[in-house]
Structure 1
Amino acid sequence: MANVLNGLFGGAKSSETPLPSGDSDFADFAEAPDPVPTDTPTPMGSGAAPAAATPALASKWYEVHKRHTMDEFKVEGMIIGVCVVLFLVHLVGARLNRNRAKAWAKANGPLLRREFASVGFSDRPAADSTADDADEVLKEKSLFQFASYATGRQNVAFVDVDLRLVKRFNPMATLSEMVLSFFWETMAAPQDVMDAVLYPFDGKESLTVPAVPGTHELRGKEAKSTFDGFVWAIVSKERMRELRDERYDLSITFTKDNSKLPNWVSVMSENAEITEQLLTPELVKAVEAAGDAFEYLIISDQPMEKPRTVEEATAARKRIFLRYTLPSNNDYTPLMPIFEEFTRLADRLVAQPKFRAEVMRKVNKVRDDMTAQLRKEAEAREAEERTQEREKAKKAKRDQELAALDAKQQKKYLEKEREKEQRRMAKKQTIRG
């Protein structure tokens, strides 16, 4: 009975320590951890063996192969793979374009060295260069554009050669160009082409070649390098319509087939007599040998774009253009004759007799008509500018006079001006009626 009363009124306390029932975050500190045994140094000479070190327990935090798998890096792997493929395609495409350009240089370099004293962009003369110096013949302007240059020939100032290749290093750009060319006829499909432009002296050697002491007398004895100006071309029928729309000089010519030429090319000329004199058997054979790779051979003294001023119409110089597509097998044997005819065409134009006066009168009439039209347009523009200047000066004078008047005088001035304008309009209607 006493124990019951003591329990009810707190007379006796339990000797056992109650377990903590509070916050569970401090459950780890309810009991102090047991001490970890450490290695005790053993004095030398004692027979007791040293205690073994406690091995470190492996944690999952340091075991990366257990926390991650290769499946988590699929996207990164695909990105790296695509980058590697694009990089390899870029390298292979750039090398293919360089090989194509070097193949052209090896095939045509000897011909250029035979015809010109200086070829390429090196300081060495063409006679000191070897056939394997393809790098000296061409200059890489970009991964798809290569250029060459030749000078040092009678009747020819210089020749510019431009190789424009397919962008093999960028398949997406090539594909987009192919798609656009399929939907728009004005955009050509990507292909490897060579554009060469020959600039004749045309009697302007003194303006191009520096004078050398003691050669003035010799230069005076030489034949003149001038020839008649005209527009004449041999064009592939696939490019004929496109070229007529793109080039102003070809738009003034007449198109006619010639029985001497293959049926897939046509002649664009200003006069039939010009065709008879220029279409030699050697040129016909060269065009036939070139085949489908040949695009055009143009002799022109007019600008490619329609002139807008008299200066542009009269300042155009004579040029000879050649374009053909590069063969896929790098065999330039069929194209060598047409390129040789291209380099020697200026000599033939200078050596041939002049055209009849009647022929040149018809040719020059087209140029004179264009010059007269441009001069008339220029005079009309000048007259319009003068009219605008007079109107501007008249308006400035009116504003100055109006600003010097008071309100009543300004009102009278405006009413008088309005009446004057009404009388002028009525007079116009009376004249029309």
Structure 2
Amino acid sequence: MADLIGKVFKAASASAAAVTDDDFADFASTSPAIAAPAAESAATISPLSFASSTPLGAPAGFDGPWYAVWERHSLSEFQTEGYIILLIMFIVGIHMWGARRNRSIAAGFIAAIAPILTKEFALVGFSEEGKPNTLDEKNILDANAAIQENTQMEFISYASGRQNIQFMHTTIKLQRRHNPVAWMAEIIFAFFFDAMPQPTDSITMTIAPFDGAEPPKAVSGSSKYDNFIWAVVNKRCMKKHREERYDLSLTRTSDWEGLPNWAAVMGESKEIGDMCLYQQLKDVIPECGDFLEYLIVSDMPKEKPSKLADYTPRKRITLELTIPSAATNPETLQRLVGAFIRLVDHLVANAHFRPEVLRKVKATREDEQKKLKRSIEDETKEERETKLAEKKKADRDAKLRGMSAAEQKKFLEKEREKERKDMMKKMGRKQ
């Protein structure tokens, strides 16, 4: 019996195994589409094989090492970047050249007039050690130390330590050589448009006289002289300066005996002109036609005053030149600057006019003050009227808000009736 049961169990197990093999035959067999890796190829895979694979961006067939950038790239791929770098280098080079050129021009001008400056003033420039005239080892004025760079197109110099003069301030304004793009734009626009001035290199020298304000220990006499406006102006720029400077707008223009045709005298009186144009100045001006812009003696401000306090006399003597013409005539330039500085001494000694002349000068300033005073009063009156109108409107609006609808209607009708009557009265007056 046991043998029979064992045989039956074996037969059932064999049939079950056959059915299972048949059902899972497809899953058990290896897929022909995905072949199992061979033992040899699997053995050859190592981390080093990734390093020797083709680098990213390398041309087809490249078999060099990953770090050989020079073998898979060339300079022709960076042409655009190369042009940009060359352009930047060109602009930087022009900038450096322009900055050095401007400083060289400024230092060259100071060096050209150095003999006059060291002769007339005790201190020239900005010496950190406090040396007089910022002299170098050879006792010669150091032009580079005598100027100070505000910007790459503006330089200044300073001189002091002289009788009758508080200080002399020199401003050198040059073209935008350090900025080639803006420089070329200014030149091109000035060529095509008359409203744009041609870029120039200019020098403005301004003397502030003591005018009686000497230090208490000063041993010299009084440095006061009378108030007036007088100028010698180059005719090619006379209109521009008259429009830009308020003080010149108060003068009359005339030609002057002994001066060339290109120069005009602008003054308040012939007697003042005869006094100011002393011999040394009259001799050198005819030689300065290329670079002299103007020489102005004035007690009035350059800008039009906006308040009465601006009419307080503030005397200045100003000389404006253009270069490089000035730098190419060093002897004439030195004579002109010397005559300009000594003009202060001439004014202190001789600028004391007759009462009739001073009355005319004073009348001109009083008329200008009256005009400004009327203008200020008109502006003040207009402001008062505006504030009064605003207050009346606010009171009217507040009054209307406190009324009923019927009262508002009655109030508005009364207003319109009053306006109509006022209009009728105005029309009656016109007739």
Calculate the TM-score normalised by the size of structure 1.
0.80
- Indicate conservation of the 8 Å contact 1:194/1:323, yes or no: yes
Aligned to 2:321: 324
- What CA distance in whole angstroms lies between the structure 1 residues aligned with 2:36 and 2:161? 98
2:372 counterpart residue number: 374
Change in CA separation of 1:163 and 1:411 when aligned onto 2, cut-off 3 Å: same
Moved over 4 A (4+): 18-21, 328-331
Query: Any conservation in 2 of the 1:105–1:134 contact (CA below 8 Å)?
Result: yes
Distance in 2 between residues matched to 1:306 and 1:335, nearest whole Å: 32
Written as runs of structure 1 = structure 2, the 5 A alignment for 1:80-159 is 80-122=85-127, 124-126=130-132, 129=135, 130-159=139-168
State the superposition RMSD in angstroms: 2.8
TM-score (norm 2): 0.81
Q: Do the aligned partners of 1:119 and 1:125 also contact (CA within 8 Å) in 2?
A: no
- Is this contact kept in 2: 1:103–1:330, CA < 8 A? no
Q: Distance in 2 between matches of 1:246 and 1:184?
A: 19
**Contact 1:166 1:174 (8 Å CA) reproduced:** yes
Question: Are the counterparts in 2 of residues 186 and 242 from structure 1 also a CA contact under 8 Å?
Answer: no
Conserved in 1, the CA contact under 8 Å of 2:134 and 2:145? no
User: Does structure 1 residue 70 correspond to structure 2 residue 75?
Assistant: yes
Cα distance in 2, alignment partners of residues 240 and 154 from structure 1:
32
Q: Distance in 1 between matches of 2:411 and 2:275?
A: 76
Cα deviation for residue 115 of structure 1 reads: 1.6
Residue in structure 2 matched with residue 229 of structure 1 by the alignment: 227
CA distance in 2 between counterparts of 1:171 and 1:28 reads 72
Letter in 2 for 1:116: F
Asked whether the 8 Å contact 2:125–2:133 carries over to 1, the reply is no
Equivalent AA in structure 2 for residue 257 of structure 1:
D
**Equivalent residue in structure 2 for 1:200, among 206, 209, 218:** 209
Q: Does 1:59 align with 2:51?
A: no
User: Is the aligned partner of 1:29 residue 2:20?
Assistant: no
Q: Which runs of 5+ in 1 are unaligned?
A: 1-17, 37-55
Q: CA deviation at 1:61?
A: 6.1
Q: Is the 8 A contact 2:134 2:146 kept in 1?
A: no
Q: 1:40 corresponds to which residue?
A: none
Match of 1:257?
255
Which of 405, 410, 413 is the matching residue for 1:412?
Answer: 410
Secondary structure class of the residue paired with 2:145: helix
Query: Does the Cα contact within 8 Å between 2:260 and 2:286 map onto a contact in 1?
Result: yes
Q: How big is each residue's C-alpha offset from its partner over 1:367-418, in whole Å with a ceiling of 9 and x where there is no partner?
A: 2211111112222222222223333333333333333332222222222222
Amino acid at match of 1:351: A
Q: Are the structure 2 counterparts of residues 331 and 276 from structure 1 closer, same or farther at C-alpha, using a change threshold of 3 Å?
A: closer
Q: Which amino acid aligns with 1:33?
A: S
Q: How far off its partner does 1:351 sit?
A: 0.3
> Offset of 1:337 from its aligned partner?
0.8
| Percent sequence identity over aligned pairs | 39
Give the structure 2 partner of residue 189 of structure 1.
Answer: 198
Q: Counterpart of 1:50?
A: none
How far residue 348 of structure 1 moved from its aligned partner, in angstroms, is 0.8
1:353 shift after superposition: 4.8
Q: In structure 2, how many angstroms separate the alpha carbons of the residues matched to 1:333 and 1:389?
A: 64
> Which runs of structure 2 are paired with 1:167-182 in the superposition (5 Å)?
167-182=176-191
Question: 1:241-390 residue pairs with structure 2 within 5 A?
Answer: 241-312=239-310, 314-327=311-324, 332-390=330-388
Whether the 8 Å contact between 1:299 and 1:319 is mirrored in structure 2 is: yes
